[in-house]
A = this chain, B = another copy of it.
Amino acid sequence: MQDEKAFLSGYSLEDYPRPSVTADIVAFRIRESDSGNYRRNSQTALSVLLIKRGGHPYKGCWALPGGFLSPGETIEQCAFREVEEETAVKPASLMPVGVFSEPGRDPRGWIISNAFACIISDPAVRAQSGDDAADAKWFDVDFAQDENGDSVLTLQNGEDSVRAVLREERTQFGMTRYNLLDSGSLAFDHAKIIAAALEALRAGAADFEHIFDFLPETFTLAELQNVQETVMNISVLPANFRRKVANLVEETESYKQGAGHRPARLYRKK
């Protein structure tokens, strides 16, 4: 014990090189847009929060919210802090996406990033700029393969559009590694991080583990189905969908009225 104390007092971590450590967050939201037809239900799109970098490096490029780990906090606390700074909303939970430590990924030097995904349900959230950000916007996500088999990530918000190309590489353990072919106007390796987050989100969405986080307290089964389909990019027949989720939800006594068609019963997560 005496021994150990002596050891520790003589020991200095500062004698060895250390990286800087950041948490970067891929914040997902389901964005609803009116379909124009009073009968039709609204369309939805998966969108992700990006911030226009106001300072160097990658000035003017779009980047994920994130920031440096401070002493005395866990990397998760750091991630929560950064999301709250940018969105003023505290997400229900964080989903670990991966660690990005490729040398040279940040021109400022040796910086490794811990990536997390989170789900922001509050549709009223006003993404607000932080210190380092000139602007923050939600971008609709499109992630699909092109004719060469490469993955194309397209992020769109009105006039602002970002396009990145990645090459998939299947590794063991069912993981996919993405290599950056063209990062477009996305800063750093953030296209890679978004791709990995999308994959993690989709993998977890199959069992309804976190689909409910996108929705308010009560919802129609069509809304629930719509969210899952939007996230996973699949399509299921409504009749089969209701059977699948029957044990996960419980009825309420309310209905969603005034939609130009038969009212839908509202459900709650069980």
Contacts and interface: CB of A to CB of B under 8 A. Distances in A.
Nearest to A91: B172
A233 interface: no
B172 A92 contact: yes
Interface in A93-108: 93-96, 98-99, 101-103, 107-108
A3 interface: yes
A174 B111 contact: no
B71 A210 contact: no
Nearest to A73: B103
A36 interface: no
Interface in A36-69: 55-57, 59, 68-69
Given A20-B16, A209-B172, A210-B173, A101 B56 contact: no
A258 interface: no
Contacts of A112: 21, 69, 75
A226 B96 CA distance: 31
A13 interface: yes
A98 B76 CA distance: 11
Complex copy number for this chain: 2
Interface in A133-160: none
Contacts of A68: 16
A102 B72 CA distance: 8
Contacts of A99: 75, 96, 99, 114
A260 interface: no
A123 interface: no
Interface string A16-30: 111111000000000
Nearest to A4: B56
12 contacts: A3-B59, A4-B57, A4-B107, A7-B56, A19-B71, A75-B99, A75-B101, A93-B173, A96-B98, A96-B175, A173-B204, A173-B209
Interface of A: 3-4, 7-8, 11, 13, 16-21, 55-57, 59, 68-76, 92-96, 98-99, 101-103, 107-112, 114, 171-175, 204, 207, 209-210, 213
